[in-house]
Amino acid sequence: MAWDFSTDPEFQKKLDWVEEFCREEVEPLDYVFPHAVRSPDPVVKAYVRTLQQQVKDQGLWAIFLDEELGGPGFGQLKLGLLNEVIGRYGSAPQLFGAAAPDTGNMEMLAAYGTDEQKARWLTPLINQDMFSAYSMTEPQGGSDPNLFKTYATRDGDEWVINGEKWFTSAGRVADILFVMCTNGMFVVPRQTPGVEIQPEPRNHNHIIYNEVRIPLDHLLGPEDGAKVLAQRRLGGGRIHHAMRTIAQCKLAFDMMCERALSRESHGKIIGEHQMVQEKIADSYAQIRMLRLFVLETAWKIDNTSTQECRTDIAAVKYTMAKVLQDVSATALHILGSLGTTDLTPIQAMYAAAPTMGLADGVDEVHKVTVARNVLKSYRPHEGNWPTEYIPAKRAAAWVKMQPKLDADPALAQAAENYKKYFANRR
């Protein structure tokens, strides 16, 4: 039996370096050069490359990938510990070559792409010479593949895609789009004629695919294999979201605690009011429980697979959204009017919480999945009464104990005394 909640000293040194690097280099970059990683300015891009080289020198580039794919091959548990740090800073995931939606798309390419597809798309994505988006959700079908209508028709040496996608995050600025059709997953360059990106919404794009023609070799994986690829992609993506959410919750928690010790109300600091103390205590417990759940799930993935851990991944997904919502709301209240403005990160966190409950599948769907999977390991009880019905358990216990009571008169007398005592108590 081996239980261990410690981090080995060598990896802790890596975590310490990441924390200092993010605080000293990444945070200033975010404020001086917002969205620097995608900046077209060659001077800014060159500066970003120097920071990314420091990450590579530490062996931390593309931290979610195995070694043979250009990453350090840390596994999900260590990745979780790293994401607890980099998830606190806006551009840190991109500076570490590990930002969504590229991470999930790279995992699909790594698992299902041909050598030619990997050379054409995976390597540039890893090097951030190219960016991608995932085009799955549809206006009428949401995230349920069984309701999708976007379809690719084969026409000679081309596929012709027609359909409509909604909530394609970063689609407007992507170089390539991973389009989930009813009959396969396809890689579509954004500049392809017929890719019609609607003006609104700006960040999570609405895209119409109107007679979009792509070569046959732009099919990723097998024909009709889109659901399998999507599960591979979304399983990892959901746990990675949860890892970064812990960082956001910790940031909100740090802010609420600092504020609780800094403001006064009714003659004492607000941290001395019991209602504030209760909110802080509840937030602390929620974050700790979420963190342990996420790390345990990551450990399970490392020792099995995302497929084997799909129940825990689904549970983590909706739990993280609830904890982020609760903790950010608490932080907002403790900060007061300042929390409602855009002068701190709290308002953005609070606004993002409902989105986290929708992205990568709505929470309600994941709850149904968890319940169905959990119930598979149970069976209905026989008769009218449940297994833990006390009168039946008591009768069965007397039957089981009877041979021992028959062999030991003193023990039998003690049992009778107990029976009379409890009978009289009624």
State what percent of residues in the chain have pLDDT above 70.
99
Per-residue confidence at 51, pLDDT binned at 50, 70, 90?
very high
Question: If DSSP codes are grouped into helix, strand and coil, which group holds residue 144?
Answer: coil
The distance in angstroms from the start CA to the end CA of the chain is: 45
Range of the domain at 406: 390-419
Residues 171 and 78 in one domain: no
Does a cis peptide bond (omega within 30 degrees of 0) precede residue 201? yes
Residues 365 and 395 in one domain: no
Angle between helices 274-303 and 310-335 (to 10 degrees): 160
Taking the C-alpha atoms of residue 268 and residue 126, their distance in angstroms, rounded to an integer, is 53
Residue 398 has pLDDT above 90, yes or no: yes
The residue among 201, 204, 179 whose CA lies nearest residue 190 is 179
In a domain? residue 112: no
Residues 245 and 367 in one domain: yes
Residues 270 and 210 in one domain: no
Burial of 184 (0-12, 13-18, 19+ CB in 10 A): buried
Residues 148 and 174 in one domain: yes
Question: Tell me: the pLDDT tens digits for 16-26?
Answer: 999 999 999 99
Question: Tell me: the pLDDT tens digits for 69-78?
Answer: 767 889 999 9
Q: Are 332 and 348 in contact (CB under 8 A)?
A: no
**The pair of three-digit structure tokens given for residue 385, joined into one six-digit string:** 């009464």
Residues 250 and 158 in one domain: no
Residue 248 has pLDDT above 80, yes or no: yes
Question: Tell me: the pLDDT tens digits for 347-366?
Answer: 999 999 998 888 777 899 89
The mean pLDDT of 17-36, rounded to a whole number, is 97
Q: How many domains does the chain have?
A: 4
Q: Which has the higher per-residue pLDDT, 237 or 225? A: 225
In a domain? residue 95: yes
Residues 179 and 243 in one domain: no
CATH of the domain at 244: 1.20.140.10
State what percent of residues in the chain have pLDDT above 90.
83
Q: Which helix (H) or strand (E) holds 390?
A: helix 390-407
The mean pLDDT of 378-388, rounded to a whole number, is 94
Question: Tell me: the pLDDT tens digits for 95-141?
Answer: 999 998 999 899 899 889 999 999 999 999 999 999 999 999 999 98
Residue 50 has pLDDT above 80, yes or no: yes
The mean pLDDT of 253-271, rounded to a whole number, is 96
**pLDDT score for 96:** 95
**pLDDT score for 23:** 97
Of 192, 220, 248, which closes a domain? 220
Residues 262 and 357 in one domain: yes
**pLDDT score for 15:** 97
**The pair of three-digit structure tokens given for residue 386, joined into one six-digit string:** 């449940």
In a domain? residue 76: yes
In a domain? residue 127: no
**pLDDT score for 312:** 95
Residues 363 and 299 in one domain: yes
Residues 196 and 293 in one domain: no
Residue 231 has pLDDT above 90, yes or no: no
Burial of 39 (0-12, 13-18, 19+ CB in 10 A): middle
Question: Tell me: the pLDDT tens digits for 211-224?
Answer: 999 999 999 999 99
Of the candidate ranges 36-45, 226-235, 267-276, 336-345, the one whose mean pLDDT is the lowest: 226-235
Of the candidate ranges 97-111, 202-216, 322-336, 337-351, the one whose mean pLDDT is the lowest: 97-111
Residue 230 has pLDDT above 90, yes or no: no
Q: Are 331 and 255 in contact (CB under 8 A)?
A: yes
CATH of the domain at 13: 1.10.540.10
Taking the C-alpha atoms of residue 391 and residue 384, their distance in angstroms, rounded to an integer, is 13
In a domain? residue 104: no
What residue type is 32 in one-letter code? V
**pLDDT score for 91:** 95
**pLDDT score for 235:** 64
